[in-house]
Structure formats: structure tokens, C-alpha cells
Amino acid sequence: MQTPLPSSSGTKPEMKEHCSHRADCLKLIQLILDGEATEQQLARAKANLESCKPCIQMYQLEKEVKELLTKRIEKRCCPEQLVATIKTRILSFS
């Protein structure tokens, strides 16, 4: 989801500094980032993410952590030798 994140200069007066249900918001944010949120949940979160500062920060953090995991952790490839061994052993099955 692309959430328009407010620029620091354009802080609107109705921006909430406090979130009274952080834990629930966090769960919702994770559903969204995992692509598992329903339309309703998306709509609800969208409203939050435009007006609630803690929610925006949580969203940024969750997104960052997910990206660290997706993009920065090295992906180990299967050694060629193992591929060859498996193929050979399969052939001897029948």
C-alpha cells in the first residue's frame, strides 16, 4: 500500500500525537504490509495513517523491518553438488 506520508512541514492541526489503540493499529498495519488486510481494514487503516502520528511511525518501522528481511538478508543458494546428488539418488529409486 502506498500511504501518503505527510511532509514534516505540512503537519496538519488535526494530527493526533497520541494513539489510544496502538496494539490494534499495529496488528492492522502488519496485515496491510503482509497483503492480508480486507478492504474494510484497509479503509480503516488509511484514515489512521493520515491523521495519527504514532500510527505513521509504526507503519514506517514495520515497513522498514520487513524490507530489511526481504532485501538485506543474504539468500543462500543450494550447492550444485547437492542438486546433483539428489538427482542421482532419485534415479536409483525405480
Partner 1 sequence: MATIPEVMSDTPTSDRNRIGGPTEPDQFLPDSDSAEQPEANAPARGYSEEQKYQIFNKEFMPHIDSMYNFAFRLTMDEDDANDLVQDTYLKAFRFISSFEQGTNAKAWLFRILKNSFINDYRKKSKEPAKVDYQDVETTYNSEDAESEHTVDLRAESVSDLIGDEVATALNSLPVDFRTVIILCDIEGFTYEEMAKILDIPIGTVRSRLHRARNLLKEKLRDYASSMGYKEENDE
Shorter beta-carbon distance to Zn ion: residue 14 or 80:
14
Interacting residues with Zn ion (CB under 5 A): 19, 25, 48, 52, 55
Distance CA 65, CA 57 (A): 12
3-state secondary structure of 60: helix
Residue 21 to residue 3: CA distance in whole angstroms: 20
CA distance 45 to 55: 9
Amino acid at 47: A
Tell me how far, at minimum, the Cβ of 27 lies from partner 1, in Å: 6
Closest residue to Zn ion, judged by C-beta, is: 19
Minimum CB separation of residue 15 from partner 1 in Å reads 17
Does residue 12 interact with partner 1 by CB under 8 A?
no
Least distance from C-beta 72 to partner 1, angstroms?
4
